[in-house]
Amino acid sequence: MIEVKDIKKSFGEAQILKGISTTFETGKTNLIIGRSGSGKTVMLKTLLGIHTPDEGIISFDGRIYSELSKDEKRELRTEIGMVFQGSALFDSMTVEENVAFPLKMFSNKRRSEIKERVDQVLERVNLVDANKKMPSEISGGMQKRVAIARAIVNNPKYLFCDEPNSGLDPETSIVIDVLIQEITKEYGMTTVINTHDMNSVLQIGEKIVFLKNGLKEWEGDNEQILETKNKSIVEFVYSSDLFKKVRENLLAEAEEEDNK
């Protein structure tokens, strides 16, 4: 569990985060959503320790980050997995070498143990025969699965994903969403996903935090977001004609059910 209490962050005179408090729950896919400029990227980077908050507290299962020693912070970083936007694989490394990289950096495992663990996570993301391929030889969806395998190879407690569906077609995006959700539950991780993909919101949004102008405007889950009357989030989620029709149908069905 990651708890955030009254987080504020400014760059010069521009205040980006204006006192955000929320909880990201263990074993759930926690989504941060909002329009461009809402503060969601700064929020993710602040959780990761890339940005230091001006005020407020971030705690990882009761460990307050700002109170940790350098060694304790270094240890905490080994408990974090990250799926970057665009996958961020090393072009000069094979799939196997990319996935093994965190183990070589942050563990004392023998070569045979690293190979065994790499094979395990590649099998988990359905890439059994891709070990020796280069990133340029596989599809965007496969690259994303390699990125997920690399992120979980160290058995992290916390998984962060920055726009994991960026550049993927809708069908592949659903595959990635489901994979992230399944792995979150299997590993018992606290997963935080920064996204603008409404399909992801409705598919795996077990906890959703909606930011607007640096403030937490709304939070709930993917069922509550369909029923909310919050004007800002209705305009955001149902900005397309398709989603507006979906909402109208859902509301009509709910009204019909209530009248029975």
CB 87 within 8 A of CB 143: yes
Measured between alpha carbons, how far is 56 from 5 in angstroms, rounded to an integer?
Answer: 5
Indicate the residue type of 140.
Answer: G
Here the tokens at position 237 are 């989620």
State the pLDDT confidence band at 86, using cuts at 50, 70 and 90.
confident
| Per-residue confidence band for 193, with pLDDT thresholds at 50, 70 and 90 | very high
178-196 average pLDDT score: 94
CA distance 48 to 121: 23
- Domains detected in the chain: 2-221 (3.40.50.300)
CA distances for 180 relative to 22, 174, 175, angstroms: 21, 10, 9
pLDDT of residue 142: 92
Query: How far apart, in Å, are the Cα atoms of 36 and each of 76, 173, 184?
Result: 30, 20, 27
pLDDT the model gives residue 63: 96
pLDDT band for 109, please (50, 70, 90 cuts): confident
Strand partners, 4: 22, 58
Cα gap 243→9, rounded to integer Å: 33
Task: Report how far residue 65's alpha carbon sits from residue 83's, in angstroms, rounded to the nearest whole number.
Answer: 21
pTM of the model: 0.88
Q: Is the pLDDT of residue 106 over 90?
A: no
Separate counts of helices (H) and strands (E) for the chain:
10, 10
Q: Average per-residue pLDDT in the chain?
A: 90
Phi, then psi, of 230 in degrees rounded to 5 = -65, 115
Question: In this structure, are residues 160 and 48 in contact, taking their beta carbons and an 8 Å threshold?
Answer: yes
Question: Which positions ≥6 away from 235 have C-beta within 8 Å?
Answer: none
